[in-house]
Amino acid sequence: MPVLSSYVPHSKISLTAVTVIAVVVLLSTLPGPTVGSGANALSQQIQPLDPLTPAEMELAGQLASADRRVKAAIGSGRQRLVQVQFLALKPARVSADPERLQIGRHAAVLFYRYDGDQGIHVVVDLEKRAVVSVTRIEGRAVPLSTEEISEAFALAARNDRVRALLGSRLNEFKVANLAAGERPQNRVEGLRIVATFPRDPCYRHRCIDLLFHTSDGYIAGNTVTVDLTAQTVRAERTIR
């Protein structure tokens, strides 16, 4: 009988050996991780294509705002961080198995600068905590933010025609943060205008049409256009 068997029963040897071999083989068949190797605590619980968490969005905004190239691009004039959005950036290295791509966690941060009607598109690598690219884009490609609607309504609320339109209900109107699920009965909503002709006062300006929703529905027959760049308000009756 082999010496080894004097220490360990035969059945136990084979079970242990088979178990170890099986586990090694099984582990070798497991697919590799898809979150980038530099994954930090932010991305350990989430998959590469899951939406950004609030913490990731905040981090992306902070990293972009602090970046030297971004600061240079947005300048010292009036500007605004408008949006932080999930971005699935394609990895430089392509895996043969499309499901095993090493996709990192990225965010696209959009800034708008009012002088020159320009947008700044910033790609942030959340795992490396670094800005990947800074690209100047057309101003019209930068969406409006809820804060801009608030600013537009604050301007409009000082306009005599708007005050007459809303009357005593003026102070009851609130800018709805639709993204937060807010839908107050008396709410202000906005629609983006991109002017086509140079003679239009809104040409290459940030302009918003304001809509006023009451508990009965939308107030009809009036247009209120706010030019955030020029800080002006145009209110007109459209149906007589």
CB of 91 to other proteins, least distance (A): 9
Q: Whole-number minimum distance, CB 27 to other proteins, in Å?
A: 7
List 36, 61, 104, 190, residue binding other proteins (CB under 8 A): 190
d(CA 53, CA 50): 9
What binding mask, one character per residue, do residues 154-173 give for other proteins by CB under 8 A, x or -? Answer: --------------------
Of 2, 51, 167, 198, which one interacts with other proteins (CB under 8 A)?
51
CB 227 within 8 A of CB 206: yes
Span interacting with other proteins, options 23-31, 68-76, 155-163, 167-175, rule CB under 8 A: 23-31
Q: Does 88 bind other proteins (CB under 8 A)?
A: yes
Give the binding-site size for other proteins (rule: CB under 8 A): 73
Return the range that interacts with other proteins (CB under 8 A); candidates 43-51, 58-66, 72-80, 151-159.
43-51
Both tokens assigned to 50: 């899951």
In the complex, what is the shortest distance from the CB of residue 194 to other proteins, in angstroms, rounded to a whole number? Answer: 5
Interface residues for other proteins in 117-146 (CB under 8 A)?
A: 121, 123, 133, 135, 137-138, 140-146
- Decide if residue 47 touches other proteins (CB under 8 A): yes
Helix (H, G, I), strand (E, B) or coil at 14: helix
Q: Which of 54, 77, 181, 198 binds other proteins (CB under 8 A)?
A: 181
At residue 204, φ and ψ (nearest 5 deg) are 60, 25
Q: Which residues pair with 120 in a beta bridge?
A: 111, 136
CA separation for the pair 175, 186 (Å, rounded)? 9
Q: Does 101 bind other proteins (CB under 8 A)?
A: yes
What tokens appear for 68 in the block? Answer: 């030297």
Give yes or no for residue 222 binding other proteins (CB under 8 A). yes
Q: Which tokens in the block code for residue 160? A: 């005599």
Residue 60 phi, psi dihedral angles, 5° rounding: -60, -45
CA angle 52, 56, 58 (to 5 degrees): 120
| Centroid of chain to Cα 182 | 18
